[in-house]
Amino acid sequence: MITGRSMENESSSNRLRVAVVGPEKNGKSWLFATSPGIKLDLDFDRRADALAGRKGLYALTFEDPQYPKMPETAEEIVDIMTDLEKSLDLSKLIRRNGQRLLPDAPPETIVENIAFDSISSFAKSQMEYEMYNNPALRREIKIGPNQLIYLPKSFDTWNAEQKGVEAIIMRAFALPVNVFCMFHEKAEEAPDSSEDHPKFTGRVTIYPNRYKSILKYFNEVWRVKLTQVGGKYLPRVYPLPDYSMDACTTMQLDAVEEPSIEAMIAKHRVRSGQTKTLTTGLPAATTGNASNASK
């Protein structure tokens, strides 16, 4: 499929694809909660309680059953994406048994922002599913009389996991919504680093590091970290590249921003001369078709 359009009058803030990078519990999920409009947090970290009280925010928390039952998250997220492709109305998300996933969402609750929170936990669930269903991808270690642990057998295991995660993210990108992926960060190792003699560049990179290959699909890569402000450590957003990380943005933002996506969009629109009111600017969704403590 080929889609063509004139870009002259398009706005880079109309549909956001954001990789949010930062240490654990530094404000990534809190930042997502500041998006304008209805928000859906796909909570793979099981920490949705950190977003309690946030206006217009709904959360789906995923938890796989313990061995010997099959991990379910990988199939459940496929079902959710299929439902969202039919309708962005959160009241229509259903379980396989027909029950509503979000019974508190009134009819016509149209989602405008989706977060994968976090990619490392999503990837872990995907890998557990792949290893459970394909013995060729796993090594088995027996613990006690009835417990087995599955470990990755080769690079094929990592590749199968990443392909599954990437496929879901691409489906989210095809929806008329803002998409946020939460990445934890780690110290970047030098080219001559080894397990016995680790060396570091002084910069940070995303974790898991193998997901650097999908950053090319994001228009925005923002770093979020606690920063000393007036004697306190508060979350701040770093959307421009600096010595520590290759961040990037297509919006007209400053090197350091307050943690408010709504305010960041407003600033960009003022600086770029846009006169639209402060909304996400997303296409209107139809009912039947869609054609953080800091966390």
User: Using CA atoms, how far apart are residues 265 and 37, in angstroms rounded to an integer?
Assistant: 13
pLDDT of 283 > 70? The answer is: no
Residues with Cβ within 8 Å of residue 14, at least 6 apart in sequence: 280, 281, 282
Query: Which amino acid is present at 261?
Result: I
On the question of pLDDT at 295 being above 60, the answer is no
pLDDT value at 287 more than 70: no
pLDDT one-digit tens code per residue, 257-275: 999 999 999 999 999 988 5
- Please tell me the pTM assigned to this model: 0.90
Condensed to tens digits (0 to 9), the pLDDT of residues 216-227 reads: 999 999 999 999
Cα–Cα distance measured from residue 187 to residue 210, given in angstroms and rounded to the nearest whole number: 14
Please state the rounded mean pLDDT for residues 85-96. Answer: 95
Q: Which two tokens stand for residue 273?
A: 């001369």
User: What mean pLDDT, rounded, does the chain reach?
Assistant: 91
Mean pLDDT calculated for residue range 72-77: 96
Whether the per-residue pLDDT at 243 is higher than 90: the answer is yes
- Residue 66: pLDDT band (50, 70, 90) is confident
Q: List domains and CATH numbers for the chain.
A: 17-271 (3.40.50)
Using one digit for the tens of pLDDT, what is the confidence trace for 135-153? 999 999 988 778 889 999 9
